[in-house]
Amino acid sequence: MAGVRHAVEFDGGIVMKSLHGMLIPISLRENIVQWHYVYAEDDSQRFTYQQGIAKCPERALMDSVDFETLRSTRAIVGWCSDARKVIGRDDASYSTIGYSTARPFSSSINVSGGALGFQQFGAAQLNFTLGPKDTKVVFQHSGSFHKVLKLAGRSHVLLQDTEEKRAWLVNADDVILHIVQTRLCHDHKRTGPPTLLKYLDTASQTLESNENWQALGSKETVSAMVADTWSMLEMLLDQTTELNQTSDRAVKMPFVKALVGFEFMAVVEERSPLETKEYAAKSNSGGWTRLIRDTGTLVLFAQGFQDLIESSHTRNQCFSWRSIPKGEDYLGTTVSVLEDLYNVAGSKSDHRRLTSSGLYWRSENIVFGRCLEPQTRFCRCNRLQDISHSDSHPSAAPTLESNGGVVFGKPSSYLPLHDDRDKTSFTRLTISNTKSKKRNGETLYTLPNTTISPPVLNAGESHSRIVQ
Look up residue 151 and give its amino acid.
Answer: L
Distance between CA atoms of residues 20 and 229, nearest Å: 47
Residue 443 has pLDDT above 50, yes or no: no
Distance between CA atoms of residues 363 and 29, nearest Å: 12
- Pick the range with the lowest mean pLDDT from 50-54, 154-158, 192-196, 379-383: 379-383
Per-residue pLDDT, averaged over 265-276, amounts to: 89
Q: Identify the residue with better confidence: 208 or 394.
A: 208
Distance between CA atoms of residues 335 and 446, nearest Å: 10
Percentage with pLDDT > 70 across the chain: 59
Instruction: Determine the pLDDT at residue 208.
Output: 94
Q: What is the mean pLDDT of the chain?
A: 71
Q: Identify the residue with better confidence: 213 or 364.
A: 213
Instruction: Determine the pLDDT at residue 128.
Output: 30
- Pick the range with the lowest mean pLDDT from 200-209, 329-338, 369-378: 369-378
Residue 56 has pLDDT above 70, yes or no: yes
Distance between CA atoms of residues 6 and 16, nearest Å: 6
| Cβ count near 117 (within 10 Å) | 14
211 — pLDDT class (breaks 50, 70, 90): very high
Instruction: Determine the pLDDT at residue 372.
Output: 65
Angle of helix 222-245 relative to helix 172-186, nearest 10 degrees? 120
**The most confident of 115-119, 235-239, 451-455, by mean pLDDT:** 235-239
Contact by Cβ (8 Å): 467, 210: yes
Distance between CA atoms of residues 351 and 465, nearest Å: 43
pTM of the predicted structure, to 2 decimals: 0.65
Instruction: Determine the pLDDT at residue 403.
Output: 77
Distance between CA atoms of residues 92 and 389, nearest Å: 36
Distance between CA atoms of residues 151 and 163, nearest Å: 31
Helix (H) / strand (E) containing 360: strand 359-362
Helix (H) / strand (E) containing 288: helix 288-294
135 — pLDDT class (breaks 50, 70, 90): very low
Q: How many CA atoms lie within 13 A of 94 on its CB side?
A: 28
Contact by Cβ (8 Å): 403, 448: yes
- Pick the range with the lowest mean pLDDT from 121-130, 170-179, 198-207, 286-295: 121-130
Helix (H) / strand (E) containing 292: helix 288-294
Tell me the per-residue pLDDT of 384-434, one tens digit each, with 9 for 90 and over: 555 667 666 666 666 677 777 777 776 554 444 443 333 333 222 222 333
Residue 132 has pLDDT above 80, yes or no: no
266 — pLDDT class (breaks 50, 70, 90): very high
Residues sharing a CB contact under 8 Å with residue 292, sequence separation 6 or more, in sequence order = 158, 169, 259, 299
- Number of H helices and E strands in the chain, helices first, is 11, 22
Q: Order of strands, edge to edge, in the sheet holding 258-263? A: 103-104, 277-280, 258-263, 298-302, 156-161, 166-171, 330-334, 405-409, 442-446, 385-389, 359-362
Q: Identify the residue with better confidence: 430 or 205.
A: 205
Closest Cα partner for 319 from 307, 310, 309? 310
Tell me the per-residue pLDDT of 293-333, one tens digit each, with 9 for 90 and over: 888 899 999 999 988 887 776 555 665 666 777 888 888 88
Tell me the per-residue pLDDT of 147-190, one tens digit each, with 9 for 90 and over: 889 989 989 999 999 999 999 999 999 999 999 999 998 877 66
Distance between CA atoms of residues 299 and 159, nearest Å: 6
Alpha helices in 120-269 (DSSP H): 144-153, 172-186, 188-191, 203-209, 222-245, 264-268
Per-residue pLDDT, averaged over 252-256, amounts to: 42
Tell me the per-residue pLDDT of 91-100, one tens digit each, with 9 for 90 and over: 777 888 878 8
Q: Identify the residue with better confidence: 459 or 433.
A: 459
Contact by Cβ (8 Å): 21, 48: no
Residue 222 has pLDDT above 80, yes or no: yes
Closest Cα partner for 196 from 180, 208, 211? 180
Q: Identify the residue with better confidence: 440 or 167.
A: 167
- Pick the range with the lowest mean pLDDT from 115-129, 216-230, 381-395: 115-129
| Cβ count near 456 (within 10 Å) | 7
Residues sharing a CB contact under 8 Å with residue 466, sequence separation 6 or more, in sequence order = 90, 195, 196, 197, 198
Residues sharing a CB contact under 8 Å with residue 134, sequence separation 6 or more, in sequence order = none
Residue 16 has pLDDT above 90, yes or no: no
